[in-house]
Every structure is written in structure tokens, then in C-alpha cells.
Amino acid sequence: MNFEDSPEEARYRTTVRHWIADNAPDMSGLGAEQRRNWHPGHKEIARRWQATKADAGYACISWPKDRGGAGGTAIEEAIFNQEEVRAGVQFTYFMTGLHMLLPALLEHNQDALALNRVPPAVRGDEIWCQLFSEPASGSDSAGIRCTAVRDGDDWVISGQKVWNSGAHVADYGMLLARTDPGLPKHKGLTVFWLDMKTPGLEVRPIRVMSGESELNEVFLEEVRIPDSQRVGEVNDGWKVVISTLMNERAALGSGTGLSWRDMIALAGQTPSWEGSVMEDPAFREWLADYYVNVEAIRLLSFRTLTSLSKGEAPGPASSAGKLLWSNKTQEMTDQALDIQDHFGLLDGADLAVLDGAFQHRFLWSPGLRLGGGTDEIMKNIIAERILGLPGDIRVDKNVPFREIPHGR
């Protein structure tokens, strides 16, 4: 039991902390709203930061050098990520591509066509998006109906994708399509990668309840791509999907954003019946409960680091971190609004506390419990993969996909 870095890890942390301090982008010129994800000014800063990191060997630290990485260790990458978070310069634009999609792509395709995509992605010049979910395939993530039909050396893809984060700015996408509806659900799927400017592909932003439009629908109408852009074997796409999804859950569980310290600061400056909210016993009790849960998220990330340092893969227990993080974020923002009383309604950067960060996060937090695996799916994973409880009865098991009942 040791929560301190080894001497070697401590040296690495000191080095990267200094390097980040010396090289981190200056965000002081950005207003509150420009500092939010997907704002063009914010995105441009993220791109420049990614290129700076790539030049110095701090992008994709744990990837092998022959795949465009820095040839470092997973623990070094994790330490660098922690230091980025600490310095407030961690950006999400490239995570889908660099943490989920490209590692899976390179596992299967090492031809020039695929390898050429790596350096610009590592530098942040090209953004990747995931094209998996569909209107009829959310938690039932293998229930894909978008079809890919072989035509000579090409595939012709038609269908609709949804919840594609960043598709409106992405240069490339990784797509899951059904290549044999005569096989059972998980069997007839194949993964492809494609240029988002391929003719027949149209991106339409979705306005979510917080008012933002970083999620999209993607419509594909007879989109033609060569067989060389297939990832893995035909009808064996589920294998590719599994590795990308596991990476996503591990990444999401690490926890970012507003903390218990922000809540203490807010409570200290907000008046209550007598004195500040900080003196309200009900708030103190809430704070204690909240702290032990979010502290556990921080501590459980050390377990991930421990596994990485032993060369082991993080297990399904990271589902617990994701559940905690999304639920506690929602509770925390709700509490932040509540202790401000009537004033908690205000969300404008000009009047609201902390430029409206709590209100913004409050309206965004329902999505945290849905994206990257819903609460319910996380609990199923814990129950089935950790506790060993049986799967639910599946009426679609061993049935050809085209015969599975479906709604509209």
C-alpha cells in the first residue's frame, strides 16, 4: 500500500510538470464560453498543444515508435495525463481517435494507407470520430442496421449513425456496418474506416438539452469505399468494437472537471441562514458523502496505475469509476445550484458564479450517465463480469439478424 510515486516515477513527474509549465498554451485571452469544448478558439488551442506535445515526444507516449508514438510506458502516459489535468490543459478532441480508434485500426491494418493517417492524428491535425451507435442500436450496441454490401473491390454503405461526438469537425471516422444480416446479431458485422468527406456522407449536428451541438447524426447514402479500408476480417467486426469500448470506459472513469474544492469555495462565499452555507450542517453532511465518493474515483485511478505498472490491463472494475463519476457530477451540480437558492437559476457568464460553470455542467450531466455506456449497462457489466451473475434471457440469441423483432 503506497500512494506515492516510485523515485523513477517522481522524476518523470517533475520533468513533465516543468515541461508543461514552460510550454502550456496561454488561455487567458479566451472568455468563459470560448473556454468550453468545441468552441473554435478552444479547439485551435487544443490543436496547437497537441502538435507541441508531438514535437517533444509527449503525444501518444505509450505507443511504439514505429506506430508514431513516443515508445514510453503506460505509467508515463498516465502520469503525463494527470499533470495535464492538474495544469488545466487536457483536451478531449483527439481522445476518441488516439485512445480508442487508431489503436484498434493499427492492430489490424498496417498498410501504407492506414499508417499514413497516424502522424497527422498524433499531431492533432486530423480528428477522428466513432460511427457505431444508431437510432435503433444504443445500449444494444450490436443491433446495427447500417449495411455494407460488397461490390467488386468496393463496399457500398447505407444507413444512419447517431451520437457521433465531434463528427462535424472530424476528418476520418471508424464505422460499424452489417455485412451479413443472415448471421446472428454479433456475427455479421464488419468495421471500416473512411474519410468524412466521402461522397454520400452527410453530418447533421444534434442540439442536446444543454444547447450545445457537439453530437451529430451521420447519414450514409450509397457511400462507396475500397476494401482496403476494412478493419479486421469480414463479419468479425465485433472483436474490433470490444477493444475500443473497453478503452473508452477506462478513459471516462478517470474523472475531470469541478471538484469538492470548488464546492467548498462556493459554499464559503454563499450566505445561508446564519453565516455561510459552509456552516449549514446539512451541507456539511452532503460534502462528506460527496467527498468519500469522488475521493474513491481518484484513488481507484491509482489502482489502474498499479495494474499498468505491472503490465496488466485495467479490468471491468473501471465500470464502477464511470458510474460514480457521472452520478456524482450530476449530484454535485444540483447541490451547487441548490445552495445558491434563487440565484442558482442564473447561468450567464456575466452574472453567474464561476461564469456559470455549475449551471452548464448541470445541464450537461444527464449525458454523462448515458454516453460511454449507460448506468444500467455499467451495472450489468459489474453484475455479469465481476460478480458472475447470469446474463438476461436474450430472445435475439442465435437468431439470424433479419428475423429479430424490432420497433420502428
Chain residues in the site for another protein (CB under 8 A): 1-6, 9, 75, 260-261, 264-265, 268, 278, 281, 284-285, 287-289, 291-293, 295-296, 299-300, 302-303, 305-306, 309, 317, 320, 323-324, 376, 378-380, 382-384, 386-393
Q: Grid coordinates in use for 224?
A: 462507396
Taking the complex as a whole, the smallest distance from the CB of residue 314 to another protein amounts, in Å, to: 12
Instruction: Compare residues 70 and 297 and give the one whose CB is closer to another protein.
Output: 297
Instruction: Compare residues 261 and 408 and give the one whose CB is closer to another protein.
Output: 261
154 contacts: CB under 8 Å, gap ≥ 6: 224, 225, 226, 227
Instruction: Compare residues 66 and 312 and give the one whose CB is closer to another protein.
Output: 312
279 contacts: CB under 8 Å, gap ≥ 6: 272
Q: Grid coordinates in use for 334?
A: 444540483
Instruction: Compare residues 116 and 398 and give the one whose CB is closer to another protein.
Output: 398
Taking the complex as a whole, the smallest distance from the CB of residue 129 to another protein amounts, in Å, to: 30
Could you tell me where the DSSP H helices lie in 310-371? 318-339, 357-368
- The total of other beta-carbon atoms located within 10 Å of residue 406's CB is 11
Taking the complex as a whole, the smallest distance from the CB of residue 80 to another protein amounts, in Å, to: 15
How does 8-27 read in b/e, with b if 16+ C-beta sit within 10 Å?
ebeebbeebbebbeeeeeee
Taking the complex as a whole, the smallest distance from the CB of residue 304 to another protein amounts, in Å, to: 8
Instruction: Compare residues 3 and 209 and give the one whose CB is closer to another protein.
Output: 3
* Cβ atoms of 176 and 237 closer than 8 Å: yes
Taking the complex as a whole, the smallest distance from the CB of residue 323 to another protein amounts, in Å, to: 6
Q: Grid coordinates in use for 381?
A: 457489466
- Provide the β-strand partners of residue 189: 178
Instruction: Compare residues 208 and 382 and give the one whose CB is closer to another protein.
Output: 382
DSSP classification of residue 353 = G
Taking the complex as a whole, the smallest distance from the CB of residue 11 to another protein amounts, in Å, to: 14
Angle at alpha carbon of residue 328, lines to 344 and 364, rounded to 5° = 55
By CB atoms closer than 10 A (0-12, 13-18, 19+), residue 78 is buried
* Cβ atoms of 325 and 287 closer than 8 Å: no
Taking the complex as a whole, the smallest distance from the CB of residue 160 to another protein amounts, in Å, to: 29
Instruction: Compare residues 2 and 116 and give the one whose CB is closer to another protein.
Output: 2
* Rounded Cα gap, residues 153 and 136, in angstroms: 29
